[in-house]
Amino acid sequence: MSDLSPISAYQNCRLCHRKCGVNRTTQTDVGTPSIGYCGMPDALWVARAALHYWEEPCISGEVGSGTVFFSGCSLRCVYCQNHSIALGLSGKRIDTGRLTEIFLELAAQGAANINLVTPTHYVPSILPALDAAKAQGLTLPIVYNTGNYETLDTLKMLEGYVDIYLPDFKYWDAALARRYSNAPDYTKHAAENIAEMFRQVGTPVFAAHSPLTSEPPDAALSDSYSTDCHFNTEPMLTESETALMKRGVIVRHLMLPGGLDDSKQILRYLYETYGDNIFLSIMNQYTPLPAQLNGYPELNRRITDAEYEELIDFAIDLGIENAFIQEGETAEESFIPSFHAEGV
């Protein structure tokens, strides 16, 4: 059980490295600059809660990941693919009791796991909701899916709650982190966080899923992950290729236009530090959204096949075996789900 007081954590909010120190309990309007950098009050706002087929195959499986998209974000990257959520402009206000119900409803729908997306600024509220859901029988793995800018103290609250960490590692170069996320200290903190995540959950554990209970949609992004994406298939894939991760760390890296050298630095660091004790997810699905890219002309294009292939060749030459890569037309806006509080 969590002994954390959500109220005290929100009264002087320092959950992420923005360390705003604001009192979120006195705020009511989402997206207001006078709140913290994430733009969210202490009240839970959730944009979507549904089975989701767009994650890595070992997270979505064929049954779908029970994904809860929280509104607001403490990073607010200029190229964000979920812009309306990041700005807190979509979603519905709920209490922790309703969040508990959502977790249980997703489990009843056959979800492979409970997947908390952009949860950093709501950790003090999520923990009691998980406690209550577990008391009512929730046994699914808990996935913590983050842009990776929370503090170590926030991560330490999650020990014993989270089974699978799914952090981004966005930048190596501080200049890129400053330009695109206004977070020049991102790399240092992201690296420290991954070390803490690995300390908590350790090396990957997989288990085959029970027979399928629902079919993924035809355009599922999971289908766009290469069937060869898991270079080392032995520990994971069953005949039906539905093996699901039960525990471990998958670090995601979204390749950016012109970011090949930065991407290589990140892969090198992760492999030299963790070898194949974590998984990497090397993503080419960057989608330019021109309306939000004024002042960033270099980002207004997709990743070329040549750029992505060079990065994958680099990963293979390094010796990386545990990685997911993407194939086909992944850079389509259609892969970005709509956020109209479905399931909330």
Maximum distance among all alpha carbons in the chain? 54
The H-assigned helical ranges of the chain are 6-11, 57-60, 83-86, 96-108, 123-135, 152-157, 174-181, 186-201, 260-274, 305-318
Stretch that binds ligand SF4, among 15-23, 48-56, 59-67, 210-218 (CB under 6 A): 15-23
Options 2, 4, 14, 89; binder of ligand SF4; rule CB under 6 A: 14
Options 48, 76, 83, 121; binder of ligand SF4; rule CB under 6 A: 121
Residue 212 CB neighbour total at 10 angstroms: 13
Stretch that binds ligand SF4, among 14-22, 135-143, 220-228, 270-278 (CB under 6 A): 14-22
Stretch that binds ligand SF4, among 19-27, 95-103, 204-212, 298-306 (CB under 6 A): 19-27
CA distance 161 to 163: 7
Q: In the structure encoding, which two tokens stand for residue 19, read together?
A: 């360390």
Options 6, 27, 30, 37; binder of ligand SF4; rule CB under 6 A: 37
DSSP E strand boundaries for 171-278: 205-208, 243-254
Could you tell me the CA-to-CA distances from 201 to 7, 169, 266, 289 in Å, in that order?
A: 28, 18, 21, 36
Options 36, 167, 257, 337; binder of ligand SF4; rule CB under 6 A: 36
Q: Is 4 in the site for ligand SF4 (CB under 6 A)?
A: no
For ligand SF4, give the closer residue by CB, 34 or 334: 34
Options 6, 27, 30, 38; binder of ligand SF4; rule CB under 6 A: 38
Shortest approach of ligand SF4 to residue 10 CB, angstroms? 8
DSSP strand pairing (142-146 vs 164-167): parallel
User: Is 252 in a helix, a strand, or coil?
Assistant: strand
For ligand SF4, give the closer residue by CB, 60 or 96: 96
Residue 302 CB neighbour total at 10 angstroms: 17
The type of residue at 1 is: M
Q: In the structure encoding, which two tokens stand for residue 55, read together?
A: 């994650």
Stretch that binds ligand SF4, among 20-28, 99-107, 172-180, 246-254 (CB under 6 A): 20-28
Residues 73-92: x/- map of binding to ligand SF4 (CB under 6 A)? -x------------------
For ligand SF4, give the closer residue by CB, 177 or 220: 177
Kindly determine how many residues on this chain lie close enough to bind ligand SF4 according to the rule CB under 6 A. 14
The H-assigned helical ranges of 259-340 are 260-274, 305-318
CA distance 142 to 163: 5
Per 3-state DSSP, what percentage of the chain is helix, strand, and coil (rounded to 5)? 35, 20, 45
Stretch that binds ligand SF4, among 18-26, 44-52, 127-135, 243-251 (CB under 6 A): 18-26
Select the residue whose beta carbon is closest to ligand SF4 and give its number: 36
The type of residue at 205 is: V
Shortest approach of ligand SF4 to residue 1 CB, angstroms? 23
Which residues are at the interface with ligand SF4 (CB under 6 A)? Answer: 13-16, 18-20, 22, 24, 36-38, 74, 121
